[in-house]
Amino acid sequence: MSVLHEQPVAPAHPQRSAFVRRAMAVAALLLFVLFAGLGTWQVFRLHWKLDLIERVDARVHADPVAPPLASQWPQVSRESDEYRRLRLSGRYLYELTTPVQALSDLGAGFWLLTPLCLGDGHIVLVNRGFIPSSGDIATRYPARKAGANPCAAIQGAPVDVVGLLRIAEPKSGFLRDNDPVNNRWYAREVGAIAAARGLDLAQVAPFFVDAGKGQDPKDAPETAVGGLTVISFPNNHLVYALTWYALALMVAAAAWWVARYEAKRGNTDD
């Protein structure tokens, strides 16, 4: 009768096992540093967002001031000026009004952007407010062009407007491209609208103003509802920071558990 002898299983190569352990330790350390760094970055973002909200809130509730002078236009920026309350005085060029598609609390419709001639001859585009989608908007607001000096012989009573300074809307994946040729507007691009209306860009402010509620003149061709500016800054940075820190702690805990297990196994093998 033959006897079968079991062949002993060769132990794992000690150098290979040590290499795997070192590789796992390095990977765990890198992941811990990465997750902790991302969490810290979100903390910095949180403080930046809270500071932004505080600054904007102070601007919105401050007393209105005069618009920036033409010499100050190059320094106007989103960070330092957006949502600042301005007081404007001038006359509207109603015939050059541009309707821009909008979705507001009142539904789908259009913003009415009308050039306002200031006393010094410069022009500010004013978003007079919202009108609902009804009728033939192209017929009511055709793509007219300004004459050589549109503010020289302007008709109509002067108006006072208090509103919020807004930076021209940039192109993004959320808005369709404007189509000036066909007078179809989806974003409030000041430069493009001014050029399409034949206005001298050197005379037009690089920002527009959202008029406040109840300020549209009674003699306007169509009454627009102002004061619909939405000021909202999503602030989820604390949640993101806690998530990244939690992942860092999970990596650290997993690395500690593996190290403890390897130490126990080493003691058992001895």
Spatial contact of 171 and 187, defined as CB atoms under 8 Å apart: yes
Tokens standing for residue 209: 């103003």
Q: How does DSSP classify residue 180? A: G
Q: Would you state the torsion angle of the CA atoms of residues 9, 11, 13, 15, taken in this order, to the nearest 10 degrees?
A: 180
pLDDT value of position 269: 57
| pLDDT for 162 | 96
Q: Which token pair is 4?
A: 């079968």
Give me the pLDDT at residue 138, please. 81
What does the alpha-carbon distance between residue 215 and residue 231 come to, in Å, rounded to a whole number? 19
Spatial contact of 113 and 216, defined as CB atoms under 8 Å apart: no
Q: Could you tell me whether strands 204-211 and 98-104 are parallel, antiparallel, or unpaired per DSSP bridges?
A: unpaired
Residue 55: predicted pLDDT = 86
Residue environment code for 125-161, b if the CB has 16+ CB neighbours within 10 A, otherwise e: bbbbbbbeeeeebeeebebeebeeebbeebeeeebeb
pLDDT tens per residue across span 217-227:
988 989 999 99
Question: Using an 8 Å Cβ cutoff, are 220 and 200 in contact?
Answer: no
Question: Which residue in 105, 79, 123, 171 sits closest to 113, CA to CA?
Answer: 123
Residue 195's contacts (CB-CB under 8 Å, 6 or more residues apart) are: 180, 201
| Predicted structure pTM score | 0.76
DSSP 168: P
List the beta bridge partners of residue 130.
111, 225
Task: Quick: pLDDT tens for 93-119.
Answer: 999 999 999 988 889 999 999 999 998
* Residuewise pLDDT in 10s, the chain (270 residues): 555 555 555 555 666 677 777 888 888 889 999 999 999 999 999 998 888 888 888 888 899 999 999 999 999 998 889 999 999 999 999 999 999 999 888 899 999 999 999 988 899 999 999 999 887 888 889 989 988 888 987 877 899 999 999 998 765 556 688 999 899 999 999 999 999 999 999 999 999 999 999 999 988 989 999 999 888 778 899 999 999 999 999 999 988 888 787 777 766 655
For residue 64, count other CB atoms closer than 10 A to its CB.
Answer: 16
Cβ 165 vs Cβ 65: under 8 Å: no
**Tokens coding 71:** 């010499």
Per-residue pLDDT, 214: 92
Find out whether 116 and 207 touch, Cβ atoms under 8 Å. no
C-alpha span between 134 and 132 (Å, rounded): 6
